Every structure is written in structure tokens, then in C-alpha cells.
DNA sequence: GTCTATATAAAGATAGAC
DNA sequence: GTCTATCTTTATATAGAC
């Protein structure tokens, strides 16, 4: 069971669909169809069914985010602006996700223990690194004013919003828009 | 059918549940239970079923937002900061909503024409007023730099993120945190 | 590993009594 | 206006052939 080409196709299809539309809006038939197999065959690769599959792929996504964001932060050296632009680039390189929907809609629909685990992992993988980048910059003497936890959450929310903005509304690349929003926030933290 | 106390209970229950958890995660049984009636009785008040009810209550929510935001903008006079703080106060006074989930998950699950109508109404009711507030301030000579459409979207995303942040993570009131985020953005727009 | 067939349960919806 | 009863459809899941 553990590793096969077909199983990987199932996991990738599930990742994309669950991240984009959420737990309740996606059916196992949707996933099987996207993976190119009959929905009964899906249970061969995911014996714990829809909920087990959801927990597995969300864990995978969040672990990958943690690693990708950590790399982006490292590549930014000691420049908070470069670090935040790097985090934005990483997030925009991944399938869009909606943490609000995860918290409000997906989590209540699954087993409580799994929900708590995923919520903690999401916080650790995506919010904490941004908070840390801001605190480290302040620690180096940069004049970043304000409640850094609040501001980190704000930056994260803006990046997610941008990521899921329909193409039709885009005049520039998402990366350019993300960088502008980050720059406005940084300038504001210094200016107040 | 048009007006009754019971129908209003159904609409209010549907508003809260749909706005919070989304179209697919809410069942008609959930709504009926929250309204204190049997789920069969719900069809007396909502003859067009779940989808008709969803379109009706989302329209209602968005119309109310349009009016509430317009009032808040008017009450802020010609002070862009007061206007944005007022918009935040209004949004925080209403049940939390998740526009990302609406776009990615709810809209694909309903009739395309209704989806387009709701998407346009949401944009008109919630994004356009913020854009207008920023452009008007710039028109009055305030030095607001940057892509105002992009920045308006960023402010909106931050407000939604804050609104749906679980109580456990709050050290201050949401209103204080929202005002801080707005102030950082404004200072950044002036400083760059 | 994948399918057909089938079981089970849940959800949306309608009919009709009260 | 609300209920019980019922119908239909859809979704999750399993059994077993190939």
C-alpha cells in the first residue's frame, strides 16, 4: 500500500481538491475521478476513507509549507523584507488554501483529536514563522513598532486573500501585489 | 409565506450557519434545528429548497453589508482613518463570513447565474467601498501611495482574518487589533 | 490494483394528515 | 404552520470477481 504511482496520484488529487474546496464540498468520487480511477478503487489506497485521506493530505500540505517557509526565511538572510517576500513567493507557488474555512468549516466536520492536531500544525507551520521573522528583525535593532503577532496575522491574511483572488481581477502578478502589500506594512511599522 | 415570525427565524438561522460554515457543510436539518422546527417544515418557508434559501440569505447579508458600510463611511466624514475604522467596526458587528470560501467552494456548488450575481454583489458591497474611500482621500490631497485596489483588498482580507480568529488567540479586542492594522497600512502608504 | 455490484447511511425534497 | 411518513438521490463504504 505504502508507495505506488497510483497512490501518489490519489494523494495529489486529494491535496488539490481538499485545499481548494474543503472537506465537505469534495466527494470521494471527485478525488477518484481526478486521479483517474473508480471511486471504489480509492479505498485500496486510502483504507481509512475520506476522513483519513483528508487528515493525511492536510498534514502533508502543512509539513511541506513548514519546510518551504523555513527555506524562504533562510534564503532571505537577515533582511526582513527579503524574508517576507520569500515567504510570499513560496505560498504563491503552492495550491491556494483557506485557513478560515479550515478553522470554521472543515475542522468541525472531522474527529476532534485530528482537528486539534491539524490546527496546531497549521499555526506552527504558517503563522509562527512570520511572527518570528518580525521579532528577529526587531531584535536586530530594526524599528518595527506595533503588536507583531497581530501584524503577522494580518500579513498572512493578505497573502491568502491575494492567492485566491480570481485571475480576472489581476492587473499585475500576484507576487508583485504581495510584495507591495508587505512593503506597505513594513513602511507603516517604521513610520508610526 | 412572505412574512412571519417563524420564517424570520429560519432566515436568521440560515444566515448564521451558511455565513459561518458554507453551503456544503450546512444541512437543511441543521438550519431547521437551529430555527426550532422539523426539517420538513422548512420547505414551507423556503419553497426553493436549500439552494434558494442560500441565495436569499446571502443576498440579504450582502445587502445589509452594503448599507452598513455606506453608513460607516458617511459617519467618518472626510477622515479616511475614521472611515476605515468605521468599516472595521461594522464588519466586526456582523456574523463572520469567509469570502475566500464563498468564491472557491460555495459558488461552484450552486447555479452559475446565482453565483455570478452573488459574486458581483459581494464585490460591490464590500470591496468597492474601501477602494472608494482610499481614492477619495487621495483626491482630497492626502498622500496615499500605491495601488489602491490592491491595498483595499489587503485591508479587507485582514479584517476577515481577524474576524474569524478564535477567541483563544485574542489578547485585545478585535476592534483594537483591526484599528492597528489599518493604521499601519495608512502610515505605510504615506511613508514610502 | 482496478473494476462491478451492492450495502448503508445521510441528505434533499414532497405528500398529506392535523 | 408543523408534523409524520415516504421518496429519491447522492455519498461513503465494503465484498468479491478479475
b or e along A112-132 (b: 16 or more beta carbons within 10 Å of the residue's beta carbon)? eebbeebbebbeebbbebbbb
pTM: 0.96
Are B22 and A20 in contact (CB < 8 Å)?
no
Kindly report the bases of strand C lying within 7 A of a protein C-beta atom: 1-6, 10-16
Quick: pLDDT tens for A143-185: 899 999 999 999 999 999 999 998 888 999 999 999 999 999 9
Closest chain A CA to residue B188 = A188
Query: Distance between CA A76 and CA A98 in Å, rounded?
Result: 26
Helical ranges in A124-173 per DSSP H: 128-139, 148-164
Give yes or no for a contact between B76 and B86, defined as CB atoms under 8 angstroms apart: yes
SS3 content of chain B, % helix, strand, coil (to 5): 75, 0, 25
CA dihedral over A33, A39, A43, A48, signed as positive or negative: positive
- CA–C1' gap, B77 and D10, in angstroms: 53
Which of chain B's residues have a Cβ under 8 Å away from the Cβ of A103? 164, 166
Q: pLDDT class for B157, splitting at 50, 70, 90?
A: very high
Whether A88 has its CB under 8 Å from any CB of chain B: the answer is no
- Look up cell 504563491; give the residue: A92
Neighbours of B50 (CB within 10 A): 19
Which residues, at least 6 apart from A142, have a Cβ–Cβ distance to it below 8 Å? A80, A190
Are B186 and A188 in contact (CB < 8 Å)?
yes
Listed by number, the residues of chain A in 89-128 with a beta carbon closer than 8 Å to a beta carbon of chain B are 96, 98, 100-101, 103-106, 108-109
Quick: pLDDT tens for A57-96: 999 999 999 999 999 999 999 999 999 999 999 999 999 9
**Domains defined along chain B, listed by start:** 1-47 (1.10.10.60), 49-189 (1.10.357.10)
Query: Distance between CA B131 and CA A174 in Å, rounded?
Result: 18
Q: pLDDT class for B174, splitting at 50, 70, 90?
A: very high
Q: How far is CA B131 from CA A90, A151, A178, B150, in A?
A: 28, 21, 17, 9
Quick: pLDDT tens for A113-132: 999 999 999 999 999 999 99
| Nucleotide nearest the Cα atom of B1 (by C1') | D1
B25-B31-B32 Cα angle (round to 5): 140
Amino acid at each position: 500500500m505504502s508507495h505506488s504511482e497510483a497512490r501518489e496520484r490519489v494523494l495529489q488529487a486529494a491535496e488539490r481538491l481538499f485545499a481548494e474546496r474543503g472537506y465537505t464540498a469534495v466527494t470521494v468520487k471527485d478525488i477518484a475521478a481526478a486521479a483517474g480511477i473508480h471511486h471504489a478503487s480509492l479505498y485500496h489506497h486510502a483504507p481509512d476513507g475520506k476522513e483519513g485521506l483528508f487528515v493525511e493530505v492536510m498534514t502533508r500540505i502543512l509539513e511541506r509549507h513548514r519546510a518551504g517557509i523555513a527555506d524562504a526565511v533562510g534564503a532571505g538572510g537577515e533582511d526582513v523584507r527579503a524574508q517576507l517576500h520569500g515567504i510570499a513567493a513560496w505560498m504563491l507557488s503552492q495550491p491556494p488554501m483557506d485557513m478560515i474555512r479550515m478553522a470554521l468549516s472543515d475542522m468541525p466536520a472531522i474527529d476532534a483529536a485530528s482537528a486539534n492536531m491539524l490546527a496546531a500544525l497549521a499555526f506552527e507551520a504558517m503563522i509562527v514563522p512570520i511572527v518570528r521573522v518580525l521579532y528577529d528583525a526587531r531584535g536586530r535593532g530594526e524599528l518595527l513598532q506595533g503588536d507583531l503577532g497581530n501584524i503577522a496575522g494580518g500579513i498572512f491574511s493578505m497573502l491568502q486573500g491575494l492567492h485566491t483572488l480570481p485571475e480576472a481581477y489581476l492587473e499585475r502578478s500576484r507576487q508583485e501585489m504581495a510584495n507591495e502589500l508587505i512593503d506597505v506594512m513594513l513602511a507603516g511599522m517604521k513610520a508610526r
